Chain A
Amino acid sequence: MANEVLEAEEQGIGADLGVEGEAVADGPLTHEVGVDETLHAAEHDAPGMPQLDTAVFPNLIFWLVIALLAIYFLLSRIALPRIGAILAERAGTVTNDLAAAEDLKAKAKDAEAAYEKALADARAEANRIADETRARVQADLDAEMEKADARIAERTAESERAIAEIRDQAADAVREVARDAAREIVAVMGVEADPSAVDAAVNDRV
């Protein structure tokens, strides 16, 4: 029914344009134009859905296929291999970096152990040197002490001898003085005395 109406309309337009005669003369062509015109009219007139306008289906489908092919080639030739490579590279880099970090950590541990060992060695060496030095110093010190002790003993003995000498001399001097004093006292008292007896008496007393 709609077709009839539209055909009538088409004929009306044809009449307006004055091509009706030609249209009648050339049947198939008119029919083709009529269909085209009908669809075109339906597209604008229909209050319904342009989605149901089958005249544009070939257009939509054709360009859809082109668009899909374009996207497919973009993806399969360029984008997906590239992004896949980037992701693989990143995963590889991360793995490598982790391995390298593990390696460096082991190295650091080794270095620390070596350092600790060197430190312990150095400490032992230092102790050894200190002990040696201390022993040497002690030996020197002992020798010097011995020498000093010997010298001191010598000096002491010398001093003691000198003191003894001085004491002897002092005792002799005292005896002499006492003897002289006793003789003089005896002489002053007017007693003729034997000097030897006086001396003996004094020697007994002193």
Chain B
Amino acid sequence: MAEEVHGAEEAGGLVFHPMDQFIVEPLWGDGPVSWFTITNATLWMALAVLATYLLLVFATRHRKVVPTRGQSMAELVYGFVYKMVEDVSGHDGVKYFPYIMTLFLFILMANVLGLIPMSFAPTSHIAVTAVLALAVFLTVTILGFVLNGSKFLGLFWVASAPLALRPILAIIELISYFVRPVSHSIRLGGNIMAGHAVIKVFAGFAAIAAISPLSILAITAIYGLEVLVAVIQAYVFTILTCVYLKDALHPSH
């Protein structure tokens, strides 16, 4: 049925299916997608795991004091995230480093692998980013209460503000706190989805001979931008996680 619709549009000239790349479908067969079905999302998440394995485990297998190229990259990523956690969350944040590293590597690998033509970007799905953001939100909130007890509520009570303003600020702080997972997830998912969709739209224009050079140039430029976005969004998600973690560890303003 889908093919029929597509066929009808193709007959009319320009074809735009910028969102088709985000469709989750089974790798084998054409049945319904149940929770355990192996889909294209499964494949590209597995490839993200594989890429993580190659970068951090396979490349460091010789454990050289003078590193090889692969090992230097692994050490670079390790040092980058470790320093970020230490700088942003403080020394007691370092014990959560493996969790933050997991988030960073999954998002980074999924984003970068998603840039391969014909691939699928799991991080373009709000369901995925929402789970990531909610996991961070719940972990940080629970951690905050477990570590600080009711003092964690001090996060919402701006002691440095005038007394009259404090209840109003508390409401604002409370709202902003609960908006965190929303912005956290939509920032990542929206960026990846928008970039991929824009590339597809320009690819649709490439079918017209007169503007195809311009279109291809635009795809190239946006692809470059998307490479940046893929890395920067992974970085942003991670550093925000560190910031939230810092709030849980040290809730005072």
Contacts and interface: CB of A to CB of B under 8 A. Distances in A.
Given A75-B101, A86-B63, A49 B24 contact: no
Contacts of A125: none
B122 A51 contact: no
- Helix, strand, loop or mixed for chain A's interface? helix
A76 B98 contact: yes
B24 A59 contact: yes
A67 B36 CA distance: 13
Contacts of B41: 56, 59-60, 63
A47 B22 CA distance: 12
Interface in B164-203: 189, 193
A83 B24 contact: no
Contacts of A66: 45
Interface stretch (B126-134, B211-219, B235-243): B126-134
- Helix, strand, loop or mixed for chain B's interface? helix
Given A41-B1, A60-B24, A87 B75 contact: yes
A55 B127 CA distance: 11
Q: For chain B, which range describes its interface: under 10, 10 to 19, 20 to 34, or 35 or more residues?
A: 35 or more
Interface of B: 1-2, 5, 19-20, 22-24, 32-37, 39, 41-42, 45-46, 48-49, 52-53, 56-57, 60, 63-65, 67, 71, 74-75, 78-79, 97-99, 101-103, 105-106, 122, 124-128, 131-132, 189, 193
Interface of A: 36, 39-41, 43-45, 47-53, 55-68, 70-72, 74-76, 78-80, 82-87, 89-90, 93
8 contacts: A40-B32, A49-B22, A52-B126, A63-B41, A67-B46, A75-B105, A80-B97, A87-B75
Given A52-B126, A87-B79, 13 more contacts: A44-B23, A49-B22, A58-B35, A60-B125, A66-B45, A67-B45, A67-B46, A71-B49, A71-B102, A75-B105, A79-B56, A82-B57, A89-B63
